[in-house]
Each structure stands twice: as C-alpha cells, then as structure tokens.
Amino acid sequence: MGLELTGRARYLPLFMCGIVAYIGKKEAQPLLLDGLRRLEYRGYDSSGLAILNGSLHVSKKVGRISNLEECLSGAPLSGTIGISHTRWATHGEPNDTNAHPHLDNRKKLALVHNGVVENYQALKRKLVAAGHTFESETDTEILAHLVGSMYDSLPASTPHRLETALKLALKQVQGTYGVAVVHADEPDVLVGARRGSPLVLGIGQDEHFLASDVSAIVAHTQKVVYLKDFDLITLTGNSFTIKSITDKPSEFQISEVDYRTEDAELGSFPHFMLKEIFEQPTSIQNAVRGRLNAEEASAVLGGLNMSPQELREVERIVITACGTALHAGIVGEHIIESLAHIPVEIDFASEFRYRNCPMDRRTLVIVVSQSGETADTLGALREARRRGYRVLGICNNVGSTIARETDGGVYMHAGPEIGVAATKSFTSQVTIFALLGLLLGRMRFLSFTQGSEFIKGLEALPDQITKLLKQADKIRAIADKYKSVKSMLYFGRNVQYGVAMEGALKMKEISYIHAEGYPAAELKHGVIAMIDHHTPSIFIVPNDSLRNKNISTMQEVKARKGPIIAIATEGDEDVAAIADDTIFVPAAHECLLPILAVVPLQLFSYYTAVLLNRDVDKPRNLAKSVTVE
C-alpha cells in the first residue's frame, strides 16, 4: 500500500467508458440501467446490455442512455444475470453495431470491454482463418470471438470452463482491458478481469456487482474489492473467487465505501460542475484536516513513508501529470521552490517515459492523478520505478493503481467529482503541494514564524472561498458580456502561471471557445499579435511580488484596445482602473493565492458554457479520465 489512509476507504469515481454487471436474485435490467445512468458523466457515445435468461438477449443503441431505455420500454429483458456498457469510441465509429456488448461467433457469449486491444488485427486474422465472421469495426468483438473460441476448444467437462477460456484468451492479448463476460451455457456464472482499466467488485446479500467504478453500485452495497491488474474474478449469486491470469497468488482486501449515494447526486444544483465548485470550502478543509502541526509550525504527512532524514536528502523533485493535474503541478513547483528551496521540474506524463531524462539518485518523483488510473501517469510512475527512483503519488482513489504502486503519497479526500471538467480536484492538489512545501520548508529554510503564518493562511482558505463564491452572479454577468467571442488569452506570472493554464483549459473544455494560457511576460514574444478589441485577456494580478510588472503588461494590452478581465486582490483600485471588468479575491499568502484565483475562473468558464447552452458535465469528445494511451 503506497498512500496514507485515515479512516475507511474513500473513492472517487472516474474513467472513460463504463461497465456494470449483475448476478443475483433480482431483475438485472433495472439495476444495469440505473448503474449506466450513474456513469453518464464519464463521457460515452452509445450504450447497451445483455441479459441471460435461457439464451442471450441483447439491446444496444447509439446516443444517450435514454435511447436504450426507450428501446427497452416496450419489451423489457427479463433475467437475473446481465452485463452492460457505455462506450467511448476508440475503434470504429459510434453506431448501434459498434456498441457493446459484443457476441462470439456462435452468439452464445456476450462481452463488454473497457480498454484497447493493441494486437487485435493479428488476432482477427487468425480468427478469420478459422472461419469467424465479424459484424462490427471494434477490437472488442475480436476479443469476444477469441474468448468464445477458447471456450469451444475446451472439453464440456472442464471445471470453471468460462473462467479458463477467459484466462487463455487474455494471455494472448496485448493492451489494456476491463471485461465482464457471460455465456448461455453457464447461466449462473459471470466472469471478469482487468489490466490497466479499473474494475471493482460489489458484494451484496446473495448478489454481486462488477463495475468500472463504484458510483454505479454504491446505492446497492458499501462493500467492495478493487481488483488489481491481472486479477481474474468469477462470480455467482452467493460466492466469488479472485485469481491471477499470471498464475501467481492474488490477494485482495474488502473495503467499505465511505461516501453516500447522495454525495454523487446533483441535489439542488443544475450541474455537477457547479456543485463541485461550491464544494471547494469542504474539499480543502478535508485536504488539510489532521495534517497541520501548530506546535512545530509544520505539516504532518505520514503517508509519504519517508523519514525526516530521507526527506532532507532530496535534492531535486520531478512532478509528472496530465491536464488539470499538470497545472496543479506547475503551481506546486513554485510553492515548493519558494518554501523549501528545492529545484522542481514539471514534465508531461505522456512524455516522461519516452525521454531519457537524466536524474540523480536524490531525485524524488511525484505523480499526480485525480483518478489514480490515468494511463500516461501510470506509465511515468512505472518508468520512474524501473529506473530506481522513489515515487510518491497524489490522488483521490484509495483503490487506484497509483495508490498501490507508489512508495507513498497523500490522498486528497476531495469526495466524488462527477463533472468532466475538474475543479475541486485542482484546488485539493494545490493544497497538498502547499502542505508538502510547508513540510520540506520547515526542514530547511522556513522559520517557525513563517510556518505559523502559512498554517493560518491554509486554515483561512475555506472561509475565503465561501466569500468568493458569493460573487457568482457578478461573474455570470461578465460571462454574458464575453460569451460570443472566438478566443481568449489568460495571463499569469510565477505561481499564477499554472492558474492561467488551468483557467484557459476550463474555458476550452466546456464552452469550446479557443483559449490559451501564457506567462504574462510572454506577451511581447509573439502573443501580442493576437490582441484586438474582439479578444479579451484575463489577467491574474493579485497583490504579490510581480503585481507591478503585471500592471505594465496590462497597460500594453489596453493600449491596443484589448478588453481586460482582471483577478485582483480586494481593494486594488489601480488594477480596477485599467481593467474593463475586475473580480476581487481576498488577500492571502502568495503561495496560497492560486487556490483563490482559480475559483472565479472556474465560475467564468461554467457560466459561459451555460449561456452558450453547452452540455457542461458531458462536453463533446471528452471523458473524465483517460485510461488508454
């Protein structure tokens, strides 16, 4: 176990595509549909299910789950064992035929699959040579035929025949998978397996669930097992066994989910993104709870699994992540360098494992992933471990692969984040970097007084964000003013550069307005060519050490008739006099200002998207977490 854990298991639901499977005594169809609806936030383009009742009955439709429900409304499928899926296309366009589940050559086996079969073309050639014909363009149908072929090749008397067939098939597969499989000849068995794509077992009373995340099943059970890579699971209504495809022993632990069904529901909010923006006072409070030591003016991060001496010996830190987590790392770089005077480097996780990055033995690698399952970040983690470096993780999912494979780390405890556009995970990650900077700083150059003041700043953040959120109506009015523009530019310097990047990303993700984030001083190095009266510039210019330089850059934009929206410290009339619109944030320690500055940018992007009638929680082409490379 890598990361620190206090209390019961906490879980954050995410990942592209979705699997829900059931075996028990109840009708499967309503349970499967309910589970699929709870996975809608992940992003998908089609859905389907297969119910086993004497024979296989399959229904699948392109588009929203409501299309599948409408298809089934006149002729519901009866049966107490079934599998279902929401698909995010990787191989083959979105249509009814390419939707999951897929059947084998004899139409007796049904399979749903998350992931990518990299050697599907070679497998398909072998199957075609053996007489198989295919209906879809997907790699998953090849996998279904392969498992069915293995099943048919085994004697009927083979114990655990379906389990054995899946094991034999997956040993031939290159790539990633989370799968659930049923077969008409074994009407009381459901099997599944994972490699690189999450899968969780839900344990009920005389019933079991298999799902790609726990949000799909938490309404029915609180007891779960997070499967590990190469785990192979066989379920009946009242029993389960977990083995390893590699023939090595497989150990598992039953965890209790520590969030309620309503935590992953909208409540009175129109969108999950807005709900999660407003949850940030609580999520930041959870991130610091029990981790501040006022007597030593330092932080307590026991889950790092490093002694004080080992922490003092760190001479360089490499932070690697993707997307929003990468932007949090950019902010974290400045925080750690400022507080602890340790050189920090940021690297795209997708690039880290393909670079020959020279690092000495006193380098500490930190991987950041809200889900703990991001494929590129996992690749970077494994590459760093392969080279012999100590790796710490920052994530939100106790059962995740990053939590298991890192040497230590810190859980965010942010609670469920359903919206595809990450919000509270960013501020939680930056808060954890602030805690890490405080801890390392107190071991090196930070005085007791400086540490105490920093702790007071951390403790003040929840109330300050609550105050900030009261400006929501004002921010909506600003969004209404600029909603029709084609492009936006975001500027921040030093610790605020990561916030500029994150603000631009949020605007792109959910409004589809082109937006770019830059260090403010880069304006003169090409970006200034983009300035005109149709292109607003968003400046993050709090009262910090670079305020005056930022004001000078704002003046350059103003001189070229560029509209300016400023994020400024309360009472800064100089900034307000230059900007066309100003959003004020409370005064805070320079290293904590990014946590405050990003909140108005989150609301700005949210309201812009709403005013443009975008699908805020399910933006086009995006999934909550990228679990394939």
Which residue from 256, 255, 276, 254 is spatially nearest to 264, judged by alpha carbons?
A: 276
Alpha carbon 473 to its chain centroid, in Å, reads 29
DSSP state of 227: P
Neighbours of 560 (CB within 10 A): 12
Alpha carbon 470 to its chain centroid, in Å, reads 28
Return the pLDDT at 259.
Answer: 64
Amino acid letter for position 278: F
Helix (H, G, I), strand (E, B) or coil at 319: strand
Out of 17, 322, 395, 591, the active site residue is 17
What CA–CA distance (Å, rounded) separates 313 from 187? 59
Number of H helices, E strands in the chain: 19, 26
Average pLDDT (84-110) is 88
Element holding 21 (H helix, E strand): strand 18-23
**Sole residue written with tokens 């009814």:** 96
Report the relative pairing of strands 316-321 and 344-348 from DSSP bridges.
parallel
- Evaluate if residue 540 carries a pLDDT over 90: yes
Which stretches of 63-171 are assigned E, i.e. beta strand?
81-87, 102-103, 109-114
Q: Give the global pTM.
A: 0.81
Amino acid letter for position 446: L
Average pLDDT (510-532) is 90
Compute the mean pLDDT over every residue in the chain, rounded to the nearest whole number.
90
User: 124-141 pLDDT, tens per residue?
Assistant: 999 999 999 999 999 999
CATH number of 471-616: 3.40.50.10490
What CA–CA distance (Å, rounded) separates 438 from 292? 10
Termini Cα distance of the chain: 25
Which residue from 115, 304, 82 is spatially nearest to 197, judged by alpha carbons?
A: 115
- Evaluate if residue 37 carries a pLDDT over 80: yes
**Buried residues in 147-161 as b, exposed as e (16+ CB within 10 A):** bbbbbbeeeeeeebb
Alpha carbon 105 to its chain centroid, in Å, reads 36
Q: Is the dihedral of CA 340, 423, 177, 346 positive or negative?
A: negative
**Sole residue written with tokens 């949000």:** 215
Residue 522's pLDDT band (cuts 50, 70, 90): confident
Give yes or no: 17 in active site: yes
- Evaluate if residue 87 carries a pLDDT over 90: no
Out of 61, 508, 618, 624, the active site residue is 624
Residue 42's pLDDT band (cuts 50, 70, 90): low
Residue 5's pLDDT band (cuts 50, 70, 90): very low
Alpha helices, DSSP H, located in 353-482: 375-386, 401-405, 424-442, 448-469, 472-482
CATH of 287-468, one of 3.40.50.300, 3.40.50.10490, 1.10.10.60, 3.20.20.70: 3.40.50.10490
Instruction: Indicate if 471-616 has the same CATH topology as 287-468.
Output: yes
Average pLDDT (217-238) is 91
Q: In what order do the strands lie in the sheet with 186-195?
A: 102-103, 109-114, 177-183, 186-195, 231-235, 240-244
18-264 is classed in which CATH architecture?
A: 4-Layer Sandwich (3.60)
Average pLDDT (31-38) is 91
Return the pLDDT at 3.
Answer: 46
In the chain, where the domains are located: 18-264, 287-468, 471-616
User: Is residue 408 within 8 Å of 304, Cβ to Cβ?
Assistant: yes
Neighbours of 329 (CB within 10 A): 30
User: Of 15-24, 259-268, 422-431, 587-596, which gets the smallest average pLDDT?
Assistant: 259-268
- Evaluate if residue 318 carries a pLDDT over 50: yes
Element holding 581 (H helix, E strand): strand 581-585
What CA–CA distance (Å, rounded) separates 268 from 273? 12
Residue 270 structure tokens: 């129109």
Residue 6's pLDDT band (cuts 50, 70, 90): very low
Residue 264's pLDDT band (cuts 50, 70, 90): low
Give yes or no: 275 in active site: no
Return the pLDDT at 624.
Answer: 55
- Evaluate if residue 433 carries a pLDDT over 90: yes
